[in-house]
Amino acid sequence: MKEFKFGVTTDTIIFYIDSRKNNNVRGLPEKYFGVLLVKMNNDVYKDKWVLPGGFVNMDETLEEANSRILKKETNLTDVYTEQIGAFSKVDRDSRGRVISIAFMSLIDKTKLKNNIGENASWFDIYFNEDDKMCNIKLVNDTEKLNLKYKKKLVDKTTNEYDYISETNNLGFDHEDILIKGIVNLRKKVNSSDIAFNLMPEEFTIGELKQVYELILGKKLINSAFRRVIKDKIVSTNNYIKTGGHRPSCLFKYKK
């Protein structure tokens, strides 16, 4: 049957929150938000950074393929994952006609025990955006990638935007996939509890607020944040020292 000759891949956007010391600042670690990328080495996109992904086997579902790739890259299982969408431009892959289904996973990077592959690297994400554009900086220890998107308002009542990539600093169409993942993550962060998948078991409200701010790319109002979050968390009655001043209470997610 002539139609059975598509290649199918999954690509997975592994968003992480990392907690580590900023050398310029005294006190406790800070939070960083980012994404795992791998460097291509055997293709026309040689040396381009891309989202981790791979071909789907004939005997597995898309979700199973995605879990397999996630485990291969991070050695993690039982990770929060959701489907983002299918990408199918005819010339998106030079190896042939390949469609890709993108997934988004959320991990707490501090939980990682095993090292990632030598071609992989964690890139912190920094936003710089306004109503017309969104610039994204992806930064690891040695490299800095600048992605630029034009924002087009598509629905004024819901303030929904289309993002059109104007750069070409990731391989394949992965700039399109990444921005779709970010938009999806931001929407869900505001309307569900998925942010807790990025947190350790116990955390302070200040840390949680930092995570929301990193994802949304803007500062939140303290009292409003506490109000919204207070029904979702439960105190452990343990306190930790933070930043050298008043200790803060550790909370858990109330499921």
Partner DNA sequence: CTAATAGTGTCTATTAGACAGTATGTT
Partner DNA sequence: AACATACTGTCTAATAGACACTATTAG
Q: Applying CB under 8 A, which residues contact a copy of itself?
A: 1, 3-8, 55-63, 83, 85-86, 88-90, 95-99, 101, 155, 157-158, 160, 191-193, 231-232
Site map for DNA, 2-31, x if CB under 7 A? Answer: -------------------------x----
Contact between 229 and DNA by CB under 7 A: the answer reads no
Q: CA 47, CA 43: separation in Å to the nearest integer?
A: 9
Binder of residue 245, out of a copy of itself, DNA, none (CB less than 5 to 8 A by kind): DNA
Contact between 234 and DNA by CB under 7 A: the answer reads no
Residue closer to DNA by CB (options 86, 228) is 228
Please state, in angstroms and as integers, the Cα–Cα distance from residue 85 to each residue in 147, 178, 185, following that order: 20, 11, 13
* Interface segment toward DNA; rule CB under 7 A; list 8-16, 89-97, 115-123, 199-207: 199-207
Contact between 187 and DNA by CB under 7 A: the answer reads no
Q: Any idea how long the chain is?
A: 255
187 — phi, psi (to 5°)? -60, -50
78 — phi, psi (to 5°)? 55, 50
Parallel, antiparallel, or unpaired: how do β-strands 30-39 and 49-50 relate? antiparallel
* Cβ within 8 Å of residue 230, ≥6 positions away: none
Smallest gap from Cβ 217 to DNA, in A, equals 14
23's tokens: 């050398």
Q: Which of 228, 234, 238, 254 binds DNA (CB under 7 A)?
A: 228
